[in-house]
Amino acid sequence: MTDLQLMPYRQALTDWSFKATNDKEWLPATVPGTVHTDLLAHRKIPDPFYGTNEKDVQWIDKQDWEYITTVTIEQAALRHSHVELVFHGLDTYADVYLNGQLVLSADNMFRTWRADVKAYAKSGENTLRIVFRSPIQEDLPKLEALGYPLPASNDQSDVGELGDKRVSIFARKAPYHYGWDWGPRFVTSGIWREAELVAWSDVRIESVFIRQDQVTAEVAELTAVIQVYSEREREANIHIQTDGENWERKVTLQEGTDVIELPLTVDQPRLWWSRGLGEAHLYTFTTEVLDEASRQPLATHEVRTGLRSVRLVREQHEDMPGTSFYFELNGVPVFAKGANHIPNDSFLTRVTRERYLHEIVSAADANMNMLRVWGGGIYENDEFYELCDEYGILVWQDFMFACSMYPGDEEFLDSVQAEAEDNIRRLRNHPSIVLWCGNNEIDSAWAHYIENGGWGWKKDYTEEQRNKIWADYEAIFHELLPEVVEAEAPGAEYWPSSPLVDLTGDADQHTRALTDTGDIHYWGVWHGSEPFENYNSYVGRFMSEYGFQSFPEYRSVRTYAEESDLELESEVMLRHQKNGAGNRLIKEYMDKYLPQPKDFPSFLYMSQVLQAEAMQMAIEAHRRNKPYCMGTLYWQMNDCWPVASWAGMDYYGRWKALHYYAKRSFRDIAVSVDSTDGENFHIYTISDVLSPAALTLRVKVLGLDGELYKEIPQSFHLAGNDCVKQMSLSKQHLLDGVDPHQAVLLVELEHEGEVIDSKLNYFVPAKEVALSQPQITVTETTENAVSVIKLTTDKLARQVWLSADNTGEFSDNYFDLLPGQTHTVYFNQLAAVTQKDADATQPQHGLSAARFTPAVVEGLKVTSMADYIEL
């Protein structure tokens, strides 16, 4: 048989069993999976998410575990010159044995591991065994050898029954597995991504990078960087095609690995745009290595990417202080709107493509255009980035380092370098990724150049230790990682730490509460107990973190708590609140801003209202300051378990009030009202689209019974990608004798006779609005298998909440309703279709069919704030 007839062989490795190494009984295992989920499947442990069960499963990470399977290898596979075991994720310290022979030792969860096992493989049955060493037992000696602990403030070592021995920083493993201030401590082990046997001969394409040298609307100048392995020197042709375009070049492949660069030119390219700016068009580039004589393909590789130019713009402008911080896409400044993403589950192998789809679709439907993949989780699965590519969601990608200082020994640095190379090569073709960031909050936490700055970490160390720790930090984040980014993805943007002012090498480097340069994490509201109104003052060039907590809704809480646990200070509620002061802070802010809830289920609802009101204030303050501020990413998008947290969607994917508020506040053309000075309403219009628009503002003063006291119209043109203060109106003039407790300000923004945005504002704090019980009339009809829900009221109904028995979301929710208005809401379920499928589909009710599809609601329930407070 010739090389050309020998087809590559691939076999998924399934049918595993597992046990603790000191046990005798083997049990069936699921791969990909974890020890925790396998134990749960066999009812060897209670549900870790329920009640206080987290503390009862901490013994798992102190033991060694092993997995075993029988691999039946066909003779055809063994004819190949290379027979490899490929593990796309081993968590974390693992020794792999084939037929009793050690073939691989892994020590990094984030890497792909390969072992050529041709010398040990045999035709027929082969025994494959993997021993996972306890990450705790593996790393405790490293802590002792170091001689002093390194800061790791979110490592919940006390929950893990380790006292103050924090070992998370030694393992190249998802940091949040060791606990966080929103997540539990489950230090997992297992085969967490696909495992396979691969056999091949002669030629293999190891990677293809479509480097985008210069991209404009007229022409895309690209370079295909192709890494090819050949077993011998030979003449071949490299052929690349996409969308009817073809390129070919004759090459001489050397024995071993070659890197071949082939220039590509695409005239009049269809550019990739983020959501709101245009189509997220994707090209598929197919690369073939052809035998020169026969023209038969020796190896084939496909890459999907979008053609775009992107840069992080950090420049000084005469009319603004400091230095800009924004992303320019295809020459257009983009105001980034979105949230911070964490892993969707404590047990990563439970995250399906459908869960990723729900998250990305929810982001797009809420008018977001960016997610930040935060550095305490994982480099996400391919499906996450593929969906971001399809839906036009920009990705700020952290490397996996967060809120800790790390060792700098040669072995650790070598592991970090290999991890970075693996993941950049895997992800560099995704057009959605616009930034690689070294870490989360470490520069500002350590604050090396400010003696009493940062989080107080430095005071625990001698001068010699401080300098060593900082030198190790610089070795990773100022040297190693930017060098790997430049080598593997030339031209990609790198930012050493978030937040950061600039790499100045002095005290001006570290971000404080407010700077005119770099990005900012503002936590004065929440951690600092500052009032919500401070969101209007603390506005930087790019707000990459800020947030406020709430509880999930009653249905979600009842998945981990009994009725008897529904008390703010119960043990279960405290176990499902990982921020030490969290429950107290929610109550303190609620006491300040909202009426008192009448019972605990009402408290859950009111906590969501409180969170949403806070985040609206922050988001709109940031948007009103465009172009000085060019990004707002709140903390956080999602949850990894059912918990009280900063998330806008709970663990089950249910939208909280925050997500509906974000959808409204992130509208591409929006109106925003600022009443910070207490005396006036300042009304702004904001556009994130490129085309100018003819608009009309209607400012109305209404009674809580719907009576119109005053109306002020104003027509104007709003330029594309702009923000303008349209008018300032005195509260006293608007009221003109009307009782402020009985009045509201309604600001409507119209385009071509249609209201495209509106904001309801109050003349007094929410606690002082004269609420009474409204009578809400609900008319529910079904048209073409779609629930159409029309709501009216006889008096002001605050925070109208629609809920349903079946899974889905409403087109709008948690809104204020006035007499004289008819508010129409549609019920929608997720439609699992791709963006490509949706290109020919017209939007329905403002929702693309690629996102949510209107459906029939079951068990509709409608309530308002009056139902949850004592009137």
Confidence at residue 620, expressed as pLDDT on a 0 to 100 scale = 98
Residues 566, 569, 570, 574, Cα dihedral to 10°: 100
Ramachandran bin of 814, using left for φ above 0, alpha for ψ from -120 to 50, beta for the remaining angles: left
List, in sequence order, every residue forming a beta bridge with 371; answer none if it has no partner: 339, 395
CA distances from 135 to 161, 187, 285, 331 (A): 14, 8, 41, 47
Q: How much is the pTM?
A: 0.95
Coil, strand or helix at 361: helix
Q: What is the pLDDT of residue 331?
A: 97
Is the separation of the CB atoms in 68 and 16 below 8 Å?
yes
Residue pair 609/549 in contact by the 8 Å Cβ criterion: no
Instruction: Please write the tens of the pLDDT for every residue from 647-667.
Output: 999 999 999 999 999 999 999
Residue 853 has pLDDT above 80, yes or no: no
Residue 846 has pLDDT above 80, yes or no: no
* Whole-angstrom distance, CA of residue 65 vs CA of residue 134: 8
Give pLDDT, residue 786: 80
d(C-alpha 484, C-alpha 424), whole Å? 8
Q: Which of 122-126, 286-290, 386-390, 832-836 has the lowest mean pLDDT?
A: 832-836
Check: CB of residue 145 under 8 Å from CB of residue 123. Answer: no
Contacts of residues 673-680 at CB distance under 8 Å and 24 or more positions apart, as own/partner, are 673/745, 673/747, 673/759, 673/761, 674/536, 674/620, 674/621, 674/624, 675/731, 675/761, 676/533, 676/536, 676/537, 679/730, 679/731, 679/732, 680/728, 680/729, 680/730, 680/731
Q: Which residue has the tokens 């349209």?
A: 726
Statement: residue 844 has pLDDT above 60: no
Q: Which residue has the tokens 């027509």?
A: 715
Model pLDDT, residue 158:
97
CA torsion 133→136→137→143, rounded to 10°?
A: 130
Q: What is the mean pLDDT of residues 34-48?
A: 98
Handedness of CA 443, 183, 106, 387 (dihedral sign): negative
Q: How far is C-alpha 391 from the geometric centre of its chain's CA atoms?
A: 14
CATH number of 334-665: 3.20.20.80
Q: Tell whether the model's pLDDT for residue 836 goes beyond 70.
A: no
Mean pLDDT over each residue of the chain, to the nearest integer: 94
Q: Which residue has the higher pLDDT, 852 or 138?
A: 138
Enumerate helices (H) and strands (E) in the chain, giving the number of each. Answer: 16, 45
Rg of the chain, C-alpha, whole Å? 29
Q: What pLDDT does 838 receive?
A: 40
pLDDT in tens, 772-816: 999 999 999 988 778 899 999 999 999 999 999 988 899 999 999
Q: Does the structure show a pLDDT above 80 at 295? A: yes
Tally of CA atoms within 13 A in the half-sphere of 29 that contains its CB:
28
Nearest Cα neighbor of 344 from 73, 139, 636, 120 is 636
Interacting residues of 859 by C-beta distance below 8 A, sequence separation 6+: 804, 805, 806
Query: What is d(CA 460, CA 642) in angstroms, rounded to the nearest whole number?
Result: 35
Please, what is the Cα angle at 773 between 770 and 779, to 5 degrees? 130
- Give me the mean pLDDT over the 684-705 stretch: 96
835, pLDDT greater than 50: no
Contact 427, 400 (CB under 8 A): no
pLDDT of residue 430: 98
Instruction: Compute the distance between CA of residue 805 and CA of residue 813 in angstroms, rounded to an integer.
Output: 15
Could you tell me what percent of the chain has a pLDDT over 70?
Answer: 97
Q: Is 830 helix (H, G, I), strand (E, B) or coil?
A: strand
∠ CA(377), CA(46), CA(92), 5° rounding? Answer: 35
Calpha distance 170→405 (Å, rounded): 10
| CB contact at 8 A, 744 and 702 | yes
Q: Which residues contact 4 (CB under 8 A, 6 or more apart)?
A: 291, 294, 296, 298
Query: Which of the four pLDDT bands, split at 50, 70 and 90, describes residue 754?
Result: very high
Query: Would you put residue 505 in left (φ > 0), alpha (ψ -120 to 50) or beta?
Result: left
pLDDT tens, position by position, 141-200: 999 999 999 999 999 999 999 999 999 999 999 999 999 999 999 999 999 999 999 999
Instruction: Tell me the CA distances in angstroms from 34 to 24, 65, 71, 776, one per residue in order.
Output: 19, 10, 20, 49
In the sheet where 743-751 sits, what is the strand order?
A: 708-718, 693-703, 743-751, 754-762
Q: d(Cα 534, Cα 530) in Å, to the nearest integer?
A: 7
Split at pLDDT 50, 70, 90, the class of 851 is low
pLDDT of 3: 43
At the topology level, CATH places domain 202-305 in Immunoglobulin-like (2.60.40)
394-398 and 370-373: which strand pairing?
parallel
Tokens of 50: 């329920």
> Identical fold at 202-305 and 334-665?
no
| 4 pLDDT higher than 90 | no
Answer yes or no: is pLDDT of 832 > 90. no
pLDDT for 839 beyond 60: no
Half-sphere exposure of 30 (CA within 13 A, CB side): 13
Domain boundaries, given as residue ranges, for the chain: 3-197, 202-305, 334-665, 771-871
Average confidence (pLDDT) over 278-291: 97
**740 has a pLDDT exceeding 90:** yes
Give the pLDDT mean for 492-511: 96
Q: What three-state secondary structure class fits 473?
A: helix
pLDDT, position 855: 81
**Cα distances (angstroms) measured from residue 287 to each of 223, 305, 316, 740, 760:** 13, 13, 43, 69, 56
- Phi, psi (deg, nearest 5) at residue 816: -90, 140
Peptide bond into 175 cis (omega under 30): no
Task: Indicate the class that CATH gives domain 771-871.
Answer: mainly beta
Cα gap 184→46, rounded to integer Å: 15
N-to-C CA span, the chain = 86
Averaged pLDDT for residues 707-733: 96
Q: Is the dihedral of CA 807, 811, 816, 820 positive or negative?
A: negative
> Which stretches does DSSP call E strand in 216-296?
219-230, 234-242, 245-253, 256-267, 283-291
| C-alpha–C-alpha distance, residues 536 and 522, integer Å | 12
What pLDDT does 798 receive? 97
What is the pLDDT at residue 792?
98
Query: Which residues are CB-neighbours of 723 under 8 A, at least 6 positions away?
Result: 623, 624, 625, 626, 627, 684, 685, 686, 687
Report DSSP state, residue 277. T
Q: What is the mean pLDDT of residues 410-432?
A: 98
CA 334 to mean position of chain CA atoms: 18
pLDDT at residue 6, rounded to an integer: 67
pLDDT digits (tens, 9 = 90+) for 49-88: 999 999 999 999 999 999 999 999 999 999 999 999 999 9
CB within 8 Å of 411: residues ≥ 6 apart: none
The confidence score (pLDDT) of residue 512 equals 81
Mapped to the 3 state alphabet, what secondary structure does 60-121 carry? HHHCCEEEEEEEEECHHHHCCCEEEEEECCEECEEEEEECCEEEEEECECCCCEEEECCCCC
Give, in words, the CATH class of 3-197. Answer: mainly beta
